[in-house]
Amino acid sequence: MKQLSKNKSFLHWLNPYRFEAVTRSLRAMRDGMLWLVPCLIVSSILGFVASMLEFLNVDAPIFIHELNLLRLSLTSLYPYLFAASISMMLAIQWRLPRPPIAVLCISYVAVAEKVLAYEYQASSILLTFVGLTLPIYAVPLLSKMKKQRWARIVENEVAGKLVKDSMNLIIPGVITTGVVVIMTKLLTLTSLYFDSAAFLQAFDPVNEPYTVGALFSSLNSLLWFFGIHGYYALTPLVQPLIDVLDINRVLFNAGDMSSNAMNISTLSSFVFIGGSGATFGLALAILAFSKDKVMRVIALSSIPLSFFNINEILMFGLPIIFNLRLFIPFVLAPLVNMGIALTVLSAGLVAIPVVMAPITSPLILNAFISTGGDYNAVILQVALVILSTLIYIPFVRLLDAHAKTRDLYIPSLDTTFTRREEEAYVLAVDPVTESLQKVREIQGVQMQLEAFATREFYLEYQPQISSHTGQVTAVEALIRLCDSMGNVEAPGKFLSVFEKANLMTDIDLWVVRQSVAQSKIWMEQKFYMPISVNITSHTLTNQGAMEDILSLIAQVPGLIHFEITEESLIDNPALVEDAISRLHMAGSTVHIDDFGTGYSSLSYLNRFDIDAMKIDRSFVLALNSERGKQVFHSLAGIAKQLGMNIIVEGVETKEQLDIVSRETDVVIQGWYYSKAISASEVHNYALKRQAMSNVPQPRTSCEMA
């Protein structure tokens, strides 16, 4: 039954972990690709300028050729840029140094390119796929191996953190190279079942224009719906569409008419009007028919960029990504545009495009120039914008109806919940406002951290006394901050700043290092006093930090114990359970700190192997009432039944001591015996308590001051 319970626990952990991993990977791909938008715009501008020069019959063939070569060079770098940008986003998530991770992933793509042995276009499909997916398995693998002791070349930071991080990526980097080679070889085996070159050959815009148009449009919309930049991912399929345009241009220059209506300029001028999903129509539908203030603000903000077929504001602002209410029109609108445009072009009502119109070329102008100056092309584009608007209108109204169902009128405030929700939502989705808020928060935290840089951190130790023997059984390490004037700040005043800065793990590691160093000093004096250290949930669930802690406490076996809060137990229980088990194997005990003040649940005590329950000071303060006494003794009774030791903190009076001491062999921590004292005082205090044997002595009023 116990094994079955463990299996269920593992499965319970695994499912959300998989979902979280997929979500993190998709987010990294989305954010990483956003970084490449400037590259796409530069590439598009190069192509657009070359096309404009050709259209205007400028006599500069060498310059035009160089512009096209530059554009092709940028396009060939996309797999490497994918790997670099996505891996850097994943490095942030996995808390790895970004530059070396990006460089490694770029190197892996180069290795994969050499392993692939296909014809150019088919190879480019696979290499693009490698660039997109390689970081998703390579970065987590590097992270996992970097945390292993056998993979570390440098253990300390004597030469600096950068040197340590770089050196410790050598072994994981070499092993991951082998994994990349194997994965790429496995990818090449797909040629036995799927001939990618044949697929490209079957992608025939000349003979199957409607099929090719429907396939490209649908794939582009589906990829974007999941947050993946469709144009980047479909880059290999773009080349055949460009080749058709080149054929059209040659025929046009020779005075012949082309019938190849499906090409890259057709897509950019008549299909993806406003961006993927023909979202210029969506923006107009929202402005014309939506009463939702949030959507109207977002739509209005998107209009200027939509003229250049850039729709990231709509994609991530509404959002369209993962929005099932907009999925149908997002796929349908460009499909309808494609079908009508091909029909009109093939019928000769509008000139077939012969000049390059990149995806990000401006509306109206792209249709006019790509068709050799046909005004009917502009009319067709405007008509398709109106049609896509009509397609989006019913779905926009559905979004409006959904928003109205959330209205909650509050008479006393003369407002509705929706209005307040709108304001919060605008702030949430507005990247400028959000960025400014984050900048202000970071600046505030940085200023406080800079102030701390001039102050000194140190530890004090508060003795824990056995109610049975009256002797010191352990001390708790408590961090303090002292300025140049000797003023001391308690943890409550500065730890929150470090928490906002995500530095609590660094604080925990510093406290453990100092405690281990102090234990070594005491051991040299033949004084063996256990030290209890507080660690946060961030540290417990950080495998790299736990490896460092286990390595440190191994130097003083059995002398460093740990206190964790109830909140820590619910933050990734599987990792917490594993961390507690490893601490036990290292000879440490684990206590629940402040039990009963947070997420109290007997299931935590039953599931986790906890050695001691530390009863919070608030229960001690309540001992002046009968109900308070009953609650205290109930908590103590639970601890006894579960075989846990009991530590009571905050005991300050003789009356409190008398009540607490009724429990058998309770460990007491509080000002009744001693405040937190310096390391140099601990040994003498322990000897003093030992000499006093089992007679608990209160501190004098002078000592209490």
Residue with more model confidence, 340 or 370: 340
Closest alpha carbon to 382 in 281, 283, 311:
281
186 falls within a domain = no
State residue 291's pLDDT score.
85
Lowest mean pLDDT among 15-29, 88-102, 124-138, 467-481: 15-29
Handedness of CA 416, 421, 422, 423 (dihedral sign): positive
* Helix H or strand E encompassing 560: strand 560-565
582 in any annotated domain: yes
At residue 269, the pLDDT reads 92
Q: Which residues of 368-401 are buried (b: 16+ CB within 10 A; e: fewer)?
A: bbbbbebeebbebbeebbebbbebbbebbeebee
Domain range for 512 is: 507-696
Cα 650 to Cα 96, 224, 478, 616: the distances in Å are: 41, 58, 14, 7
Q: What's the pLDDT score for residue 382?
A: 97
pLDDT of 663 = 80
Q: What is the pLDDT of residue 52?
A: 67
- Band of pLDDT at residue 131, cut at 50, 70 and 90: confident
User: Does 396 map to a domain?
Assistant: no
Where residue 690 falls among pLDDT bands split at 50, 70, 90? confident
On the question of pLDDT at 417 being above 60, the answer is no
Tell how many helices (H) and how many strands (E) occur in the chain.
33, 11
The overall average pLDDT reported for the chain is 80
Concatenated DSSP letters of 602-635 = HHHHHHS---EEEE-HHHHHGGGSHHHHHHHHHH
Beta-bridge partners for 581: none
Confirm whether 601 is domain-assigned: yes
Q: What pLDDT does residue 271 have?
A: 94
pLDDT score, position 272:
93
Res 450: pLDDT: 61
User: How many Å apart are CA 256 and CA 509, to the nearest integer?
Assistant: 76
Q: State mean pLDDT over 234-239.
A: 78
pLDDT tens-digit map of 578-599: 899 999 999 999 998 877 665 5
* Highest-confidence segment of 180-189, 200-209, 421-430: 180-189
What does the pLDDT look like over 341-369, one tens digit per residue?
Answer: 999 999 999 999 988 877 767 899 889 98
| Domain CATH number, residue 674 | 3.20.20.450
Checking if the pLDDT of 671 tops 60, the result is yes
Between residues 200 and 683, the one the model is more confident about = 683
Q: Smallest Cα–Cα separation from 243: which of 201, 271, 281, 278?
A: 201
Q: Domain for residue 643, yes or no?
A: yes
CA angle, 220 then 224 then 227, to 5°: 150
CA 71 – CA 320 distance, rounded (Å) = 30
Handedness of CA 425, 426, 432, 436 (dihedral sign): negative
Do residues 573 and 13 lie in contact, with contact meaning Cβ atoms separated by under 8 Å?
Answer: yes
- What is the predicted pLDDT for the residue at 413? 32
Q: Quick one: average pLDDT of 399-409? A: 59
Whole-number Å distance between alpha carbons of 705 and 686: 21
Query: What local confidence, expressed as pLDDT, does residue 11 receive?
Result: 37
- Confidence at residue 423, expressed as pLDDT on a 0 to 100 scale: 38
Q: pTM for the complete prediction?
A: 0.47
Strands 612-615 and 645-649: parallel
pLDDT tens-digit map of 447-501: 666 666 667 788 999 999 998 888 999 999 999 888 777 788 877 777 877 787 7
Q: Is residue 602 part of a domain?
A: yes
How many structural domains compose the chain? 1
Residue 252: inside a domain: no
Tell me whether the omega of the peptide bond preceding residue 319 falls within 30 degrees of 0, making it cis: yes
What is the radius of gyration, based on Cα positions, of the chain? 34
Helix or strand (DSSP H, E) at 509: helix 504-524
pLDDT in tens, 55-112: 567 888 899 889 888 877 887 888 898 899 889 988 887 878 889 999 999 999 999 9
Q: Is residue 55 part of a domain?
A: no
Q: What is the pLDDT of residue 121?
A: 45
Evaluated on CA atoms 127, 128, 131, 134, the torsion sign reads negative
Confidence of residue 47 (pLDDT cuts 50, 70, 90): low
Mean pLDDT value of segment 307-326:
76
